[in-house]
Every structure is written in structure tokens, then in C-alpha cells.
Amino acid sequence: MARKVKAVDIRGGNVRVDFRSRLLMTVFTVIALATAIARPASKNAAADGRDTSINPGDDFYRYANAGWLKANTVPVGQSSYDTRAMLAETSSRRVQELVQEAASAHAASGSIAQKVGDYYSGYLDQQAIDAKGLSPLADEMAKIAAISDKRSLSAYLGTTLNSEVEGLTTNADHIFGIWISQGFEDSEHNLPHLWQGGLGMPARDDYLDPSPKVVHLRNQYTAHIKTMLTLAGEEDAEAKAERILSLEIRIARAFAPDSDAADVFKQNNTWRSAEFNSKAPGLDWAAYFQSAGLSEQRDFLVWQPSAVIGVSALVRDQSIEVWKDYLRFHFLDHYAEVLASPLAAEHFAFYGAILSESQKPRDRSKEAIAATNGALGQAVGQLYMQKYFPPAAKIRAEAMVNDLIAAYRGRIANLAWMSPQTREKALAKLAALQVIVGYPDAWTDYSFDVVQGDAFGNMRRAEAFNRWRNLEKLKQPVNPIDWPINPQVPGAVIMFSPNAEFFSAAILQPPYFDSEGDSASNYGSAGAAMAHEISHSFDELGNIYDAQGRLGQWWTAEDRARYRDAAQKLVGQFNGYCPLPDLCVNGKQVLSENVADLAGLLVAHDAYVLSLKGNQDSVISGLSGEQRFFLAFAKRWRKLQTEPALRQQLKTDTHSPGEYRSDTVRNVDAWYDAYGVAPGNKLFLSPESRARIW
């Protein structure tokens, strides 16, 4: 289910970040649960990782982190280790324990624990899976065999239209994918957003790039297709594999260029259902929509028209037999993990070892956990919440969010670069913004049967349920608080459309947030992180979405000019940071994230002060509340990475290395007061040199 490594499946267990298409949403700190590694806890956790021999005004990052940096190493086979990895490890371990406990609990039939437990144990029951051999495939293979003309082909393709895509997906698992969400210009109604898809390899370039490395990858993929077909008893597998690859190359040619993904206005194409036949001739669209369950739907948002036009024409121009081979192979590949061992092993050999370059052996237990998370995400989330994020923790996190919003209200009202009318729009957008923490108040009711020892059937039923649940949304009003991430996945999802942000229970954990710990540290760490994300709703990214999440720029040209002018000081500051003798930070490349860091830190500090309600914070371990606030901010950026990883980050990432993100404090007056930083200290900036944007 989660095999397309460059696609982002924020519901599933195997989660990756792809910043190429920051259209409707942006994701931060979402880490592969399935690939997190187990490590013993840091030995000197009690010492908090500081090095008090370093003057905080000279090197705040090392004052806060040198002890930790010395005590830890980059794990073998990884390129970095940081606080995100620590969170991922914790979540991964907890989820594993919860799922395994559920599996051995033999809970009441129909309960969440029964469904989670049986989904997991059924997935692991290789003996039962192997005993069934190819028999689970029979029904669907018969349907494919019965395809006899364009009309029946179109109708069959309609049954594959699945709701597995999200705002960040680049390639749906079938020829098209569908996502139900509000429109680009209509925030009142849910609409089907139609996506390109159908490629077995994740990227368009995997099919079109003529370089020897990618040609080799295509050969490996063709061999994979051949092996899968052979294992399923198909004759003439080699020739069929060649024809399937050539069909996918044609599909890839119809894909929108990757660069289009960065421009949301290119995705805003409304097509009426009656127009598909004339705009994209080939497919029998009436038959397609009928079997997809969309015959009543009038309007569609077509994200990549070229793909819809191209694939539809391929239905007309390619032979029925080639399409049937393509469908057989993709059916096998889609369900390989719950089919007999040789198919599952071959699937991993290509998608795990070759495509994801995984050096680790296959771990069936981890695959089972990822699959359970994917199928029953909120059920696992409920188990997680009950044990690790009780209502009291949610209440504490919500109080922090309220302080952050109040702090933003104060900051926006005084922003010098926004004109008065723009400020009003920003305040209206802030008032409409929903910031939701922890877990959903209303959980998904997984009303389908999970049957012991039926891995294939369970996956089919889970997918059918998900598809039904999503299509039902077309009949319902827009629900801006429909959780796009599971509580047990450490991450946040910032939706611009609808106007809502989600912070999962698993990210609101130590070291970021301690629901029973010190407020000053919580505001400095998780608070600053949340405020960073919220700032994107009001910066150049968020500027193109209004309070209701509709497309429409609300800054004026003068606002933009003043904003860019105010941000210039940060460009200069970061250009001066050179972690390698031959390579410095590119201040322009990282500017928008640095602005968000500064906004996040300032607003979180305001919120911390608000939370005190005029009282003095206590001193803990010799540190004032102000000191602990900034210390927690610097601790969040502790990170070890290899030199190649650092080089790669400096060249391509829009985020600066952690050390310099920690140095954002140089622009905040309260930090100078908290640590007595004065002229002569290496990090000192004169008040007029400090960047003041927020």
C-alpha cells in the first residue's frame, strides 16, 4: 500500500516528506515509522546535554547541545540523527507494542483491539497466506479476463479509482486517483480532485530519463514485472513485461512536468462530467464514472489535464490485451505483500532493496505494523491516545495553542510590512484558522470486518471501506477538521485549503512537549515549532489562500516589497554561516524557512509570557523560565549528520542546518536579556542589525 516511495501517504505507516508540491498542505517532521531504528536511550539524559563551560552568548547551540553531540553518534547505515529521529523511535516502539498487545489480547469481536490485532496477526500469518496460494486472485483475474472491448475496459478501470491520494501525491496507485476535499474556489462543497497515476515506479523521470543509471532501473523494473507474471502462472511473461513497460512510458509522457507541482494555479481546472468525452476522448467516461461510483457527480477538479487526456487516448489506441496484462500485473503488485511468499519477496526485492535502496533485510513484522497503521490508522490512534496522550495532555496542548493564537493576534495587529487592509484580512484568516492537536474528537468508525487469518480479504475490505467513506464526503458539507494524519505518527499537517493545521499526539511528546513538564520548555520547543507552521499561513506560501482556504492573493504588491525588504537582514546573516571550508549557507534558498523560524520563536515567546498571566516563573535547576524557554528552542535543533548529508542539505534544502536555526535567537531581544548577551559576545548583533519582520 505504501510502496511508491516518492508519493506521500500521510495516512499510512511508511511516511515520507516531499516538499516538491507544497500546494494545499505542507508537512513537517513526518518520519518513516516503518524504518525508524531502535536505539538505547541516551546515557546522559539526566545531564540534558548542555556544556556549561561554553558561554551561551558565544555559541548558544553548543552551550545547549555539546554534551549531547558528544554522547551520540549517527547510527550505522543512516546519514543523520536528531530530535525527530528520537521521536520516531519512541513512536515506532510504542505502536509496535500496542499492536502486538492487541494481537495477543483476543479482544471482543468487533472491538478496535480485535480489528487491530487480527489485521496485524493475519498479515503475519504467512502459513495461512501461503496455503491459499493464488486462489485469492481468482475473482479479480476472472473480471480482467472478461474485458472484451473499450466499454468493459473503461468500466473495469473505474473500479480501480481509489481514494489513496492526498494533496502531496505525485503518482496515484491506479491510472487515476481521487481526493475528496473542498474546491479551489468553493469552500462550501466537497469536490473530487482527480490525480494522475498508474506508474509502477514513482517518478515520471524514472520512465523518461535516458541516463545509464535510470535505463538500468527500467531494466530492473521490467525484470520485476516478468517475475511477478511468471510467479502468477502467466505465459510469455517476458514479452508481456516489455509491453507493460512501454505502456507505462506512454503514461509517463502524459504526466504533467514535475515543475507544475509547485504552481497550484495549474491544478485548478474544473471539468464537468459531460465534458470529459470531448476534452479527453478515448475512455468511455460514462462507464468509467458509473463503476467508480461517481455517475451523479457533475464537477471535477482535474489536477493534471495532460495525464487525463493522454491516458484516455491510450485506452483508445493501445490494444485491449496490453491493458489486460497491465491490469493483471498491477493487481498482483498492489496486493503482493498479502500474497504467497514468493510474490511478497519479489515485491520487496524491487521496491525495498532496489527502489528504496534499503540495506536492511525484509522485516515482516514492520511491514505488518505499517499495513495495520495504513488500514486502521485511527483505531491504532485510539489505542495510542488511551495510553500516551490522555485528555489532560490534549487540554494542556490546547491551552498552549490558545496562547499562540492570542500572541499572533497581537503580532499581526502591529506588523509594519502589512498595509492596514491586509492586516485586517490576516486577522480574519487567523480567526478562521483551526489548529487541532493530539487526536480527533470523532474517530473513524471502521465498520468493516477484520477476519482472523485473511490478510488479503482484510486489505480488500479496508480499501473498499476507505473508498466508500471518502465518496460519502461528496454528499456532506466540508469538514475542515477531518484529520489528515494519524495521532500515532509524529508529525504536523498544515492545510491551506481548508484553513486548518493538525499536530499529532505523537509529535507532542518529549523532547518536544511534556504534558506533565515545564511550560517554559514546552513553549520554547513545541510552541515555537507550531508557531513556525502557523506563520506559513500568513507568509508568501499562505498568501495565495484566503480565510476559507480559497485561492486568491490577499497581499498587495507593496506588502510583498516591504516584506522582502525586511527579510533582507536574514539573507545576509545566513550567507555568513559556513559550516564547510568550501560551502556556506545560501541565505536566499533558506529565507522563507528562516522567516518562519523567527516568527515562530517570537510568537512562542509572547505566548509563554501570556501563559504566566503576570506571574513570575519559578527557577528550575538554576535556570529562569526565560532561560529554559530559549534553551529548549536550541535543544530542538540538536543534530548529527554525515558530511555528505550536510553538503546535500546546504545545496538543496530550504531549511538551514540546525545550528543556524538555533541561532535565530540572535534576532530576539529577550534572548539577550535572558542570558546577559552583550557586545563582545560572538553572537551579539546590535539592535539595528537584528531582523525584525514579525
**Nearest distance from residue 170's CB to Zn ion, in Å?**
20
Comparing CB distances to Zn ion, the nearer of 360 and 588 is 588
Give φ, ψ of 216 to 5 degrees: -60, -40
Phi-psi category of residue 24: left, alpha or beta, with phi > 0 → left and psi -120 to 50 → alpha: alpha
Spatial neighbors of 182 by CB under 8 A, at least 6 apart, are 188, 189, 190, 191, 478, 497, 498, 549
SS (H, E, C) 298-358: CEEEECCHHHHHHHHHHHHHCCHHHHHHHHHHHHHHHHHHHCCHHHHHHHHHHHHHHHCCC
DSSP class of residue 163 equals S
In terms of CB distance, is 277 or 586 closer to Zn ion?
586
| Minimum CB–partner distance for residue 29 and Zn ion (Å) | 10
What cell does 325 get?
Answer: 496484462
Largest CA distance in the chain: 82
Length of the chain equals 694
Please give the Cα distance from 515 to 511 (Å, whole number). 11
Q: Are β-strands 270-272 and 190-196 bridged in parallel, bridged antiparallel, or unpaired?
A: unpaired
| Strand pairing class (500-504; 434-438) | parallel
Say which residue the cell 531582523 belongs to: 691
Tell me the angle at which helices 138-145 and 320-335 cross, rounded to the nearest 10 degrees: 170
| Distance of alpha carbon 292 from alpha carbon 156, whole angstroms | 9
Cell numbers standing for residue 635: 535543544
Q: Which amino acid is at 385?
A: M
Which has the closest alpha carbon to 182: 167, 204, 171?
A: 167
- Output the CA–CA distances (angstroms, integers) from residue 24 to 10, 74, 192, 207, in the order listed: 14, 34, 14, 27
Shortest distance, CB of residue 593 to Zn ion, whole angstroms?
5
Compute φ and ψ for 642, nearest 5 degrees: -70, 160
Which of 401, 652, 445, 418 has its CA nearest to residue 533? 401
- Identify which of residues 343 and 492 has a Cβ nearer to Zn ion in the complex: 492
To Zn ion, the closest distance from the beta carbon of 533 in angstroms equals 6
**CB of 2 or CB of 596, closer to Zn ion:** 596
What are the cell numbers at 328? Answer: 493483471
When the beta carbons of 305 and 484 are compared against Zn ion, the nearer one is: 484
| Least distance (Å) between residue 453 CB and Zn ion | 45
Interface contacts to Zn ion, rule CB under 5 A: 593, 596
Considering the complex, state which of residue 21 and residue 611 has its C-beta at the smaller distance from Zn ion.
Answer: 21
Compute the least distance from the CB of residue 655 to Zn ion, in Å: 7
Closest residue to Zn ion using C-beta atoms: 596
Residue 33 gets the label, from left (phi > 0), alpha (psi -120 to 50) or beta, of alpha
What cell was used for 258? 514535475
Cβ 532 to Zn ion shortest distance, Å: 6
Q: Tell me the closest approach of the beta carbon of residue 501 to Zn ion, in angstroms.
A: 12
Q: Could you tell me the smallest distance in angstroms from the CB atom of residue 596 to Zn ion? A: 4
User: String of b and e for 649-661 (b: at least 16 CB within 10 Å)?
Assistant: bbeebebbbbbbb
Q: Work out how close the CB of 597 gets to Zn ion at its nearest, in angstroms, rounded to a whole number.
A: 8
Whichever of 9 and 597 has its CB closer to Zn ion, that residue is 597
Q: Which is nearer to Zn ion, 217 or 529 (CB)?
A: 529
Instruction: Indicate the SS3 state at residue 272.
Output: strand
CB of 435 to Zn ion, least distance (A): 15
Question: Cis peptide before 498, with omega less than 30 degrees from 0?
Answer: yes
Nearer to Zn ion, 524 or 600 (CB): 600
> Which of residues 1 and 570 has its CB atom nearest to Zn ion in the complex?
570
Which is closer to Zn ion, CB of 206 or CB of 593?
593
CB of 494 to Zn ion, least distance (A): 8
Q: Which is nearer to Zn ion, 4 or 532 (CB)?
A: 532
**Measured in Å, how far apart are the chain's first and last C-alpha atoms?**
42
